[in-house]
Structure 1
């Protein structure tokens, strides 16, 4: 009996350590960040993670469902409470939330989600047109005549819709991949409640829909639904062009697993869907180039505020030599990943998601501009890759056991 309980106790301790690390990260953010949204989130998250760690580690009465209680505490402290607090209008929201709301209003009034010849930081929209869709609810509520102080205005907040797409992408991917065990659900909850993802959901949300669409598109492609998968990947691309980094890996997966015809079908639907999604950007090519491509890469007339102390940013701050060194490292990573992709192409969702996560990690860490929030995309990729790998391994274990059990059956 004691041996059977030992793995369960050990798992509780591992989760407890994870919550302690999460809490330390939240406290560190509280100490270094000057943003109101970050500080508000950190206050709540430190308490939530701390309570979750105590529940996981300290002795409790027999029969206590400590794992579930710990997850409830972590989700409540890191997601539910700060999400509600930051949506109530009494805290300063991050600039990108206002950018999305304004671009949604521009999209329904002019068909173009960009301020023409924008030079002020608050007017620049660094996203492709699908991101503006998340600002449409706020624009419609503003036009409805509802009192600006009414609680109904919360429904239009882009963060709600961005978080919904991310959660829907994670849940939908697990459904498509048939990773629906209790363990998989618990792992997904722990992943979403981790500091990088929870903070992004509460404070900004701008990278969440890209991750959600990309995860679901990859899951659909990996289960031989290339047309629908291509539409979701195209939606991710029509939010941020960096989603294109995933295309070679998805095509390698499709060719390896299903053949060139299926891969060609994916490409056809991706091109068609992308062409439709980016029509508003094509209507104003000069603004799209200036705001979507030049501004985020640091080549625009207005400097980008995305200057988190990532390795590539720190190298770029050293001058031309540092920038060249960063680009050289990025090129080395690209060559290594490309070589590995050709020699050992992915044949499963888990392998492809790991490839994509590694590619995004290299790009975000070594690019001359960037911010920590970008890392939620590879984190979700790695997390879902592990969950899918466990789900794929379980049927194999059952199939290995089946002949043994069948051998003892009477003829």
Structure 2
């Protein structure tokens, strides 16, 4: 049932989103050039001004990567009548960013972390990895030692600091287990850096999603938005947990959209138990399952979701319930013993900073946005992977922009999911095995199958 439903052609996109896609599609190379130019400028600013060492390293490499992509795109623009060849594919630019702007800085920071240190200090200029990397690695060691990934803040023999907190669900500690179990030498520490686990999980989830949905080709624009956009590239090299989380969200959507509701519920339970920001995806996935398979399937998948969540969370809570509440609930909401550093100057934070009235206004706006998304789900429940990805992206964008304690980096969820929308819509509108228009000189899609 799921395969047949998914193979049906989706109507051509209409409205503002469809018009925007049409406008971008008429001059793809010009849009590419502007995109790479903007990304290069952003990377240059990061390289020259950011206080974080890892961000500056990424910026230096990324300027070169985006610059190479820009030069290649300009060459395509200036030689429109040249003979078709692989070197004239738009994917060359994407590949340049991937190798020079993502892989190279990641390897550099992985190696340098083992030779120069920088962990567990407040000096951002020494960090070769963002704090979430070493905090998650510590959480894994703490889990093996005590049965919980959370330090007992109240039992510390000193004043707590922000690095004592692990503001994630218990499943997140799994990404630190390779280092906890196999680390100990410089070589194994490089290979078991949590960033490697984050990247591998994200990549596996993307490949699995494409296979599940039988995507015949990936639009370059979707890859640019999801994979090589600065939010993704920077996170890939310096941190990474958000990429693993959004990869698992995409996999959840793919499973639900192919009517594997039980597996979707299992994946959704695990990702939500790793980071609570994935909770909106659970709601959207539930609507997707209900719209495709009905109420009974939703009830069964809900039982799986609740059961798996309880299975991975309750044992940790029983070991030290006070620590669980302090780390996972109070600290992210700004109510812990130490204030959360998540204070990017986004609208919700700026409104709340005006005082108590501003805080109330920001919360009202956040609740209103949540209700608007919920109404959208009720009136037009998602039926395809693209539908679901778009609704999750909108919901997480509203949360990131309007919550009073947030990070600019959380917008990586939005960019990746919007890229996924383009990829999944390409799948819905192009029958499997057909060639896309414009795939010659400009190399719009990259084929995944020849069948």
Question: How does the TM-score come out when normalised to structure 1?
Answer: 0.89
Cα deviation code 1:226-246 (max 9, x no counterpart): 111111111111111222222
Map 1:346-357 → 2, pairs under 5 A: 346-357=382-393
CA-CA distance at 1:8 after TM superposition: 9.5
Task: Give ranges in structure 1 of 5+ residues lacking alignment.
Answer: 1-6, 399-411
Please say if residues 198 and 240 of structure 2, whose CA atoms lie closer than 8 Å, have aligned partners that are also in contact.
yes
Specify the alignment match of 1:120 in structure 2. 161
1:124-163 equivalence runs, <5 A: 124-142=165-183, 146-147=184-185, 150-163=186-199
Q: How much has 1:382 moved relative to structure 2?
A: 1.5
Q: Distance in 1 between matches of 2:291 and 2:136?
A: 39
How big is each residue's C-alpha offset from its partner over 1:47-100, in whole Å with a ceiling of 9 and x where there is no partner?
110110110112356345232321221112221111111111146222111101
SS at match of 1:134: helix
Instruction: Say whether residues 1:358 and 2:375 are aligned partners.
Output: no
2:228 to 193, 202, 212: 193
Provide structure 2 residue ranges, at least 5 long, that are not aligned to the other structure. 1-23, 117-125, 155-159, 435-451
- 1:207: which partner in 2? 242
RMSD after superposition: 2.1
CA gap 1:50/1:9 in 2 versus in 1, 3 angstroms: farther
The structure-2 alpha-carbon separation of the partners of 1:266 and 1:316, relative to structure 1 and needing over 3 Å to count, comes to: same
Q: Post-superposition shift, 1:396?
A: 10
Matched-pair contact (CA < 8 Å) for 2:252–2:285? no
- Cα distance change on mapping 1:248 and 1:8 into 2, 3 Å: closer
Kept in 1, the 8 Å contact 2:216–2:432? The answer is: no
CA distance in 1 between counterparts of 2:147 and 2:243 reads 24
User: 2:83 matched to 1:62?
Assistant: yes
Provide the C-alpha distance between the structure 1 equivalents of 2:68 and 2:315, rounded to a whole number of angstroms: 47
CA contact (8 A) 1:138 1:158 kept: yes
Q: What's the secondary structure of 1:207's corresponding residue?
A: helix
Q: Assess, with a 3 A threshold, how the Cα gap between structure 1 residues 14 and 156 changes in structure 2: closer, same or farther.
A: same
1-structure distance, mates of 2:423, 2:25: 18
- Distance apart, 1:257 and its partner CA: 1.4
TM-score, reference length from structure 2:
0.81
State the aligned residue count: 386
Deviation at 1:189, TM superposition (A): 5.9
Q: Deviations over 1:24-53 (max 9, x none)?
A: 222233344210011110111011101101
Verify the 8 A CA contact 2:236 2:243 in the aligned structure 1.
Answer: yes
Question: Which residue in 2 is equivalent to 1:408?
Answer: none
Take 1:180 and 1:19, find their aligned partners in 2: how far apart are those partners?
26
Q: 1:78·1:195 contact (CA, 8 Å) conserved in 2?
A: no
Contact 2:170/2:313 (CA < 8 Å) preserved in 1?
A: yes
